[in-house]
Amino acid sequence: MNFKTRSYDAGQLVDIIKARVKVAFKPNVVEESVIGLCAAFAAQEHGDARRAIDFLRVSGEIAEANGSSYVTEQDVREARDKLEMDRVIEVIKTLPTQSKTALLSCIYMYNSPMENTTNNIYGMYRILADKIGIVTLTQRRVTDLLAELNQLGIIEGVNVYQGRQGRKKIITKITSKEQALETLYQDYDLKTFSDESPSILFTMLNNS
């Protein structure tokens, strides 16, 4: 079934999913609540029918992998997480080296005992950029790269106000962090860090 690019409401998505269930699954394998949850998740993502079908398909694959005879709501939630992780990984693979370096700096600071502010992230970025021999961008430009990563749903951050001292931004979440790190290490320029302890980099940052 081919769906044109358009938005569907939850009711329409339910009908679409029900039609797919009849074709792709045996009777009584998919719980009724599963159909509604797939539709609800897809409705949150601009009513994309293809996305709804993806939720259903991956939910079925997860249930099968778990040896279950039924597709449940928990399978749908796991499917949503998996699809989001896959999306993030594919986006990371296409990022330019500068953006990958900024993201790697975020992950290192996120895993460190140091505060993962944009200032510390930039300090880590400068160390990484120098080590792999790429042009070191200004802090303003790296901040722009971090904002782009935020828009892509890869990282999230909040502004913390400090009274007279102004404000600082702290990265609070990195989507699929461990998988993102593995993907970054596959990059030709960044793979050198896969064999290097981040603690050495933290020491360099503290001494800079």
Average pLDDT over residues 18-47: 93
Which parts of the chain fold into alpha helices (H)? 10-24, 32-44, 49-65, 73-94, 97-110, 118-132, 139-151, 177-185, 198-207
Give percent of the chain above pLDDT 70.
Answer: 95
Q: CATH number, domain at 73?
A: 1.10.8.60
- Does residue 77 sit in the same domain as residue 104? no
The whole-number pLDDT of residue 165 equals 59
The whole-number pLDDT of residue 82 equals 94
The whole-number pLDDT of residue 162 equals 63
pLDDT at 105 over 80: yes
Average pLDDT over residues 160-169: 70
Average pLDDT over residues 30-57: 92
3-state DSSP assignment of residue 175: coil
- Does residue 44 sit in the same domain as residue 18? yes
- Does residue 109 sit in the same domain as residue 163? yes
The whole-number pLDDT of residue 5 equals 56
Domain's final residue, options 31, 62, 83: 83
- Per residue in 169-201, pLDDT (tens digit) is 889 999 999 999 999 999 999 999 998 888 888
Q: State the average pLDDT for the chain.
A: 91
φ, ψ for residue 27, nearest 5 deg: -60, 140
- Per residue in 60-79, pLDDT (tens digit) is 999 999 999 999 999 999 99
- Per residue in 110-153, pLDDT (tens digit) is 988 888 899 999 999 999 999 999 999 999 999 999 999 999 99
Domain's final residue, options 34, 52, 83: 83
Domain's final residue, options 83, 111, 126: 83
Looking at the domain assignment, is residue 172 inside a domain? yes
Looking at the domain assignment, is residue 134 inside a domain? yes
Which residue range forms the structural domain that includes residue 72?
10-83
Q: Give the model's confidence band at 164: pLDDT under 50 very low, under 70 low, under 90 confident, else very high.
A: low
pLDDT at 205 over 70: yes
- Does residue 112 sit in the same domain as residue 198? yes
- Beta partners for residue 170, in sequence order: 117, 158
- Does residue 78 sit in the same domain as residue 111? no
Number of domains, the chain: 2
pLDDT at 160 over 60: yes
Could you tell me if 190 and 132 are in contact, meaning their C-beta atoms sit under 8 angstroms apart? yes
- Does residue 160 sit in the same domain as residue 72? no
Q: Give the model's confidence band at 98: pLDDT under 50 very low, under 70 low, under 90 confident, else very high.
A: very high
Looking at the domain assignment, is residue 5 inside a domain? no
- Does residue 115 sit in the same domain as residue 19? no
Average pLDDT over residues 95-114: 94
How far is Cα 31 from Cα 160, in angstroms, rounded to an integer?
44
Looking at the domain assignment, is residue 61 inside a domain? yes
Q: CATH number, domain at 163?
A: 1.10.10.10
